[in-house]
Chains A and B, each alone.
Chain A
Amino acid sequence: MLIDELVLDRPIAENGAEIELNGVSHGFGDLRVLSHIDLRIAPGEFVSIVGKSGCGKSTLLRLIAGLDQPRAGQIRIGGASVESRKEDLRVMFQEPRLLPWASVADNVAVGLRPGENPDEVGRALQAVQLSEKAGEWPARLSGGQKQRAALARALVNGPRLLMLDEPLGALDALTRLAMQGLIRKIHALEGFTAIPVTHDVAEAVALSDRVIVLGQGHILEDFRIVRVAETPRGSPELLRIEQEILARIMG
């Protein structure tokens, strides 16, 4: 099936992991960044986390990804600890973080589990439309191509949870739009749970099933976005939600 023909309100595969946060707190030194976060994300949901700079959204992402350990509280992925689910979750960083000394294909292969079929690399590159660059050095790719290679690396082992830390922040507007469409479509095909962190409210509303507004270390609001089939970007309904979220962030 061509991915362009898909209706995007529900993933076709059911592959996603359920995420549960109970009373999660974190801080640096005396600074409290997150306090008592309770959050439940259903399998396959696309949930954006938005908020001002320094609201703790990246910290929350790093905790769920297991890059940092929370000071208090519990994080469960698919009912198990983060550590035991490491192979099921993948992070896409703000920077592509490609190994400059490895070809694009070898970079994507970094995402494979040991012993996994290397043919998956070709498939992942095809999914992000980068097959013709498989043998190139990362230095010879454009910004958007680098992020597509990073996306292929994150998706190559069929993760159950994909976290994205403002991965489109450094891209130009057109490339950004194309990447948003690509991520949403791959999500529809693969059915993983997706948690992007962004400060771009319009992007969050355009992509997500839910938008969580974070502020002063708390969840301020949890917006559910109901789409009838494919609600077009810029429809009055979405714009209204966008305004509401912005108002909440700005306090």
Chain B
Amino acid sequence: MTTYDGFAERSDPPRRSYRPEFSALLPYALPLAILVLWEIGSATGLISDRALPRPSQIIATGASMTASGELFTHLGVSAARALAGLIVGGGIGFALGLANGLSRRWDEVTDTTLQMIRNIPHLALIPLVILWFGIGEGAKLFLVALGVFSLIYLNTMHGIRSVDPQLIEMGRAYGMRPAALFRKVILPGALPSIFVGLRYALGIMWLTLIVAETLSASSGLGYLAMKSREFMQLDIVVLSILLYAVLGKLADTLTRILEGRVLRWSPAHADR
């Protein structure tokens, strides 16, 4: 068979290469440097231990609380609440986003209501939520679900609406029935936007949970911080705050890995 000159293949451009171990550690250099400066500041008396305990003391406290299991109990409780709220609120937001993205009629019926709900700062409902649910699990679940719902809803709907109409027409012309069209064209096309929603939702999820736990709870990281404040255990207060940073980063990293896998077809996500 003839090879056509016009089809000559282009070779891939050479990629820049860092040594992998160095490039993997680079993002953590700055947080580490801040901890070191903080420790030096405390040791030289520049930072008072009464205002802000030094890192070494916080790490020691963390180690002893890890050994006693106390830290993991609170961490586990908080993580379970966060996840449950994300699943419930995200699930509802995803379902409504699909419905309103796919059907104009659904959109006309529900979107105005959903936009009004979305514009109420969900933390403003705390007094009402405490009256309804007391300080039990229901209150935290409700608040987290409400917080993540609107982000997942908006981004799912936007993702579905912005799927290339030419691809949809191609699918129809090639005989795809609605179910196949959704599975092969619409949902994959909406995924990048859904992931954006998920990453924002994770931030709101931690924020809401910590506020709810700080106000009223008998377990969890927020509760731990509040209880320690009463006993002036500043090291535990700072430890819980640092843990939020670690947990938030962890959730974001997991989402990025998932995103990289699912969206590996996209030039924006390839080779990361």
Interface residues of B in 164-219 (CB under 8 A from A): 166-167, 169-176, 184-185, 188-189, 191
B18 at the interface (CB under 8 A from A): no
Contacts A95-B166, A99-B188, A139-B265 hold; do A67 and B173 have CB atoms under 8 A apart? yes
- Chain A 167-181 near chain B by CB (<8 Å), digits 1 or 0: 000001011111101
Compute how far the CA of A111 lies from the CA of B174 in the bound complex, rounded to whole angstroms: 6
Residue of B nearest to A91 (CB): B173
Among the 9-residue stretches B1-9, B42-50, B135-143, B237-245, the one with 4 or more Cβ atoms under 8 Å from chain A is B1-9
**In the assembled complex, which residues on chain A have CB atoms less than 8 Å from the CB atom of B4?**
129, 178, 181-182
Compute how far the CA of A19 lies from the CA of B156 in the bound complex, rounded to whole angstroms: 43
**B170 touches which one: A97, A137, A138, A142 (CB < 8 A)?**
A97
Q: Is the CB of A93 within 8 A of B7?
A: no
Q: Is the CB of B174 within 8 A of A90?
A: yes
CB of A149 to closest CB in B, whole Å: 12
**In the assembled complex, which residues on chain B have CB atoms less than 8 Å from the CB atom of A148?**
7
**In the assembled complex, which residues on chain B have CB atoms less than 8 Å from the CB atom of A65?**
173
Interface residues of B in 239-272 (CB under 8 A from A): 263-267, 270
Q: Is the CB of A142 within 8 A of B267?
A: no
Q: Is the CB of A102 within 8 A of B184?
A: yes
**In the assembled complex, which residues on chain A have CB atoms less than 8 Å from the CB atom of B270?**
137, 139
**In the assembled complex, which residues on chain A have CB atoms less than 8 Å from the CB atom of B176?**
110
Residue of A nearest to B4 (CB): A178
A40 at the interface (CB under 8 A from B): no
Compute how far the CA of A141 lies from the CA of B264 in the bound complex, rounded to whole angstroms: 15
Compute how far the CA of A2 lies from the CA of B171 in the bound complex, rounded to whole angstroms: 33
Contacts A87-B175, A113-B175, A139-B265 hold; do A99 and B5 have CB atoms under 8 A apart? no
B10 at the interface (CB under 8 A from A): yes
Q: Is the CB of A101 within 8 A of B188?
A: yes
Contacts A2-B1, A4-B1, A139-B265 hold; do A175 and B7 have CB atoms under 8 A apart? yes
Q: Is the CB of B10 within 8 A of A142?
A: yes
Contacts A145-B7, A182-B4 hold; do A86 and B185 have CB atoms under 8 A apart? no
Contacts A97-B170, A110-B174 hold; do A139 and B267 have CB atoms under 8 A apart? yes
Contacts A110-B171, A139-B265, A139-B266 hold; do A93 and B5 have CB atoms under 8 A apart? no
Q: Is the CB of B5 within 8 A of A178?
A: yes
Compute how far the CA of A101 lies from the CA of B172 in the bound complex, rounded to whole angstroms: 18
A234 at the interface (CB under 8 A from B): no
Number of B residues near A (Cβ < 8 Å) is 30
A100 at the interface (CB under 8 A from B): yes
Compute how far the CA of A93 lies from the CA of B1 in the bound complex, rounded to whole angstroms: 27
Q: Is the CB of B3 within 8 A of A67?
A: no
Q: Is the CB of B265 within 8 A of A101?
A: yes
**A178 touches which one: B6, B173, B174, B184 (CB < 8 A)?**
B6
**In the assembled complex, which residues on chain A have CB atoms less than 8 Å from the CB atom of B267?**
139
Residue of A nearest to B263 (CB): A101
A122 at the interface (CB under 8 A from B): no
**In the assembled complex, which residues on chain A have CB atoms less than 8 Å from the CB atom of B174?**
90, 110-111, 153
Residue of A nearest to B2 (CB): A4
Compute how far the CA of A93 lies from the CA of B10 in the bound complex, rounded to whole angstroms: 25
Compute how far the CA of A193 lies from the CA of B56 in the bound complex, rounded to whole angstroms: 79
CB of A53 to closest CB in B, whole Å: 19
Q: Is the CB of B7 within 8 A of A129?
A: yes
Interface residues of A in 116-172 (CB under 8 A from B): 129, 137-139, 142, 144-145, 148, 153, 172
**In the assembled complex, which residues on chain B have CB atoms less than 8 Å from the CB atom of A2?**
1
Compute how far the CA of A40 lies from the CA of B7 in the bound complex, rounded to whole angstroms: 36
**In the assembled complex, which residues on chain A have CB atoms less than 8 Å from the CB atom of B263?**
101
Residue of B nearest to A174 (CB): B6
**In the assembled complex, which residues on chain A have CB atoms less than 8 Å from the CB atom of B2?**
4
Q: Is the CB of A129 within 8 A of B3?
A: yes
**In the assembled complex, which residues on chain B have CB atoms less than 8 Å from the CB atom of A95?**
166
Residue of B nearest to A175 (CB): B6
Compute how far the CA of A100 lies from the CA of B270 in the bound complex, rounded to whole angstroms: 12
Q: Is the CB of A100 within 8 A of B265?
A: yes
A3 at the interface (CB under 8 A from B): yes
**In the assembled complex, which residues on chain B have CB atoms less than 8 Å from the CB atom of A178?**
4-7
Query: Which 3 residue pairs of A and B lie closest in terms of their CB atoms, listed nearest first?
Result: A178-B4, A178-B6, A174-B6
A-B contact pairs, 27 of them (CB 8 A): A2-B1, A4-B1, A4-B2, A66-B173, A67-B169, A67-B172, A67-B173, A86-B175, A90-B174, A91-B173, A97-B166, A97-B169, A99-B167, A100-B265, A101-B189, A101-B266, A102-B184, A102-B265, A110-B170, A110-B174, A111-B174, A129-B7, A137-B265, A148-B7, A178-B5, A178-B6, A182-B4
What would 7 more interface pairs be, CB under 8 Å, given A2-B1, A129-B4? A91-B173, A93-B166, A100-B265, A101-B191, A110-B170, A137-B270, A145-B7
